[in-house]
A and B are shown apart, each in its own frame.
Chain A
Amino acid sequence: ETGVTQSPTHLIKTRGQQVTLRCSSQSGHNTVSWYQQALGQGPQFIFQYYREEENGRGNFPPRFSGLQFPNYSSELNVNALELDDSALYLCASSRDLGGRYNEQFFGPGTRLTVL
């Protein structure tokens, strides 16, 4: 069974640029969630995708957007990068069985630095 993978591991961008982060779900999982973790903080929920549709969103502006593909892999896109976007971005996958909480499995994260 393959775990959750994320790419790239590290990324440096400048303010105003755009970035795309990628996540491959664990085998058999159909739901992907993205989190932002600033230094010294806990992960903050960005959004979740289920069957290629956004299925919940945290308190993040529209310049944070995502996609989920038929193979359940996912992308997180951030436009017009700001310095405060510097963080560890975590992807988590789960198998939604409908109507109940399902354990999430996290990837190793992508460390984004915005200069």
Chain B
Amino acid sequence: SQQGEEDPQALSIQEGENATMNCSYKTSINNLQWYRQNSGRGLVHLILIRSNEREKHSGRLRVTLDTSKKSSSLLITASRAADTASYFCATVGASGGSYIPTFGRGTSLIVHP
């Protein structure tokens, strides 16, 4: 089963626009991470936000976390064609001692030059 579910499934925008992707999850988390994947290759870790954090920034990326709504969003500002990729959220549970991230199905982002 997949804990996080991204929305939308696909997003198509023009270069320079902002891209927002959302992730919803069901159970309490220790942290939530966002990853990027280019064309069926390996995943690249973008950012990790812990359950006691509400917002984090990394370059053009901004991640928010609302634990009361069990949701997170990833904002990519001033998008570039090179941002075209699939983006996944992954949650790490808060209990049971398991630190295995559970991935959603991802959002496919296309940025048109």
The answer to whether A and B assemble together is: yes
Residues on A facing B (Cβ under 8 Å): 4, 33, 35, 37, 39-45, 48, 56, 58, 88, 90, 92, 100-109, 111
Task: Assess whether B2 is in contact with A42, with CB atoms less than 8 Å apart.
Answer: yes
Q: Which residues of A contact B101 (CB under 8 A)?
A: 45, 104
Q: Which residues of A contact B45 (CB under 8 A)?
A: 103-106
Using C-beta atoms within 8 Å of the partner chain, give the interface range for chain B.
20 to 34
Task: Assess whether B100 is in contact with A45, with CB atoms less than 8 Å apart.
Answer: yes
Q: What's the nearest-Cβ distance from chain A to residue B101, in Å?
A: 7
Q: Given A42-B2, A101-B30, A101-B92, is A56 in contact with B100 using a C-beta cutoff of 8 Å?
A: yes
Q: Which residues of A contact B42 (CB under 8 A)?
A: 4, 90, 106-109
Task: Assess whether A103 is in contact with B48, with CB atoms less than 8 Å apart.
Answer: yes
- Give 23 CB contacts A-B under 8 Å: A4-B42, A33-B100, A41-B105, A42-B2, A42-B4, A42-B88, A42-B90, A42-B104, A43-B43, A43-B88, A45-B100, A56-B98, A90-B42, A92-B43, A101-B31, A102-B99, A103-B45, A104-B101, A105-B45, A106-B44, A109-B41, A109-B42, A111-B40
Q: Which 8 A-B pairs have the closest CB atoms?
A: A42-B103, A106-B42, A101-B99, A108-B42, A106-B43, A43-B103, A42-B105, A101-B92
